[in-house]
Amino acid sequence: MIKIRDLKIRLGKKQVLNGVDLDIPTGKTVVVMGRSGTGKSVLFKNIIGLMHPDSGSIEVDGQEVVGLREKDLNEVRKRFGVLFQSGALFDSMTVGENVGLPLREHTKLPDAEIAKRVADRLEWVGLKGVEAMKPASLSGGMRKRVGLARAIAMDPAYILYDEPTTGLDPIMSDVINRLIRSLQQRIGVTSIVVTHDMNSAYHVADEMALLNEGRVVFTGTPDEARTTSNPMVRQFIEGSSEGPIKP
């Protein structure tokens, strides 16, 4: 369970988050939507301590993570798998080394065991036998899947997805959506998916949250989002430039 309360952060001259309240219940997938530049990535970076809020609170399993020392923060981070927008694969390493890196760094598993786990995770994401390839020779969709394999290498309790389907073709988007779903069913993981791809949002969400002007202005199930009369949600879903959300 992640509880975010009254989170505020100012970057440069802009109050990016202005009192965000959000709950991510254990085992659920919460989709955070919002226009480009509303601070979705900033919210996501606050959760794993890559950015630090000016005020507010983020609790992970009852533990406050805002203001935590690096050592304790790292213990929290080890429970998270993170899929970055671009995959963020290390291009000096092979795919296998990328996926195995958290295992090599944080466990004492022997190399053979790590190789097995890497092969296994790559198989989960539908990429068998690509260990020796370099990230530079992968397509965008493959990179995201390798990034996902790396994110789940340590069997995390939480996965953060930053725009997992942006920039992918519809078929690859569907592959990723199904992966997000199947991971939730397979290992009972709690997920936050940041996206503005409505298709993907409906597909993977247990709950949806809409971020606008630094606040969460709506939360509800996909069905509630479809039927709500909240004008901001309507506008966002319909993709209209006219309405309460300023273009």
Partner 1 sequence: MTEWLEDGYDYLRDKLIDGIAEVGRIAMLVGDTFRKLGRGLRSFGLVVDQMDHIGVQSLMLVFIVSLFTGAVAAVQAGYQFANVVPLKFIGSVILRSVIIELGPVLTALIVGGRVGASIAAELGTMRVTEQIDALDAMAINPVRYLVVPRVVAAVIMLPMLTIIANFIAIIGGWIVCVTTLDVSTHTYVTSMKTFFFMKDLWSGLIKAFFFGGIIAWMGCYYGFRTEGGAEGVGIATTRAVVSACVLVLVSDYVIANVLFRFIFAS
DSSP the chain: -EEEEEEEEEETTEEEEEEEEEEE-TT-EEEEEE-TTSSHHHHHHHHTTSS--SEEEEEETTEE-TT--HHHHHHHHTTEEEE-TT----TTS-HHHHHHHHHHHH----HHHHHHHHHHHHHHTT-TT-TTS-GGGS-HHHHHHHHHHHHTTT--SEEEEESSSTTS-HHHHHHHHHHHHHHHHHH--EEEEE---HHHHHHH-SEEEEEETTEEEEEE-HHHHHH---HHHHHHHHT-SSSSS--
Output 143 or 203, the one with its CB closest to partner 1: 143
Q: Shortest Cβ distance from residue 35 to ligand ATP (Å)?
A: 7
Give the per-residue contact string, 80-99, with partner 1 (x = CB under 8 A; - = no). Answer: x-x-xxx-xxxxx-------
Q: Reading across the β-sheet that carries 2-11, which strands appear in turn?
A: 14-24, 2-11, 55-60, 63-64
Question: Measured from the CB of residue 24, what is the shortest distance to Mg ion in angstroms?
Answer: 18
| Minimum distance of ligand ATP from residue 165's CB (angstroms) | 12
Where along the sequence are the contacts to ligand ATP (CB under 6 A)?
A: 11-12, 14, 16, 34, 36-42, 196
Encoded one letter per residue, x for contact with partner 1 by CB under 8 A and - for no contact, window 34-53 reads: -----------x--xxx---
Of 162 and 207, nearer to partner 1 (C-beta) is 162
Q: Which of 41, 190, 195, 200 binds Mg ion (CB under 5 A)?
A: 41
CB of 103 to ligand ATP, least distance (A): 29
Does 203 interact with partner 1 (rule: CB under 8 A)? no
As measured in angstroms, the least distance from the Cβ of 50 to partner 1 is 5
Q: State which of residues 78, 181, 215, 234 lies at the interface with partner 1 (CB under 8 A).
A: 78
Closest distance of CB 169 from partner 1, Å: 22
Residues that bind partner 1 (CB under 8 A): 45, 48-50, 70, 74-75, 77-78, 80, 82, 84-86, 88-92, 101-102, 105-106
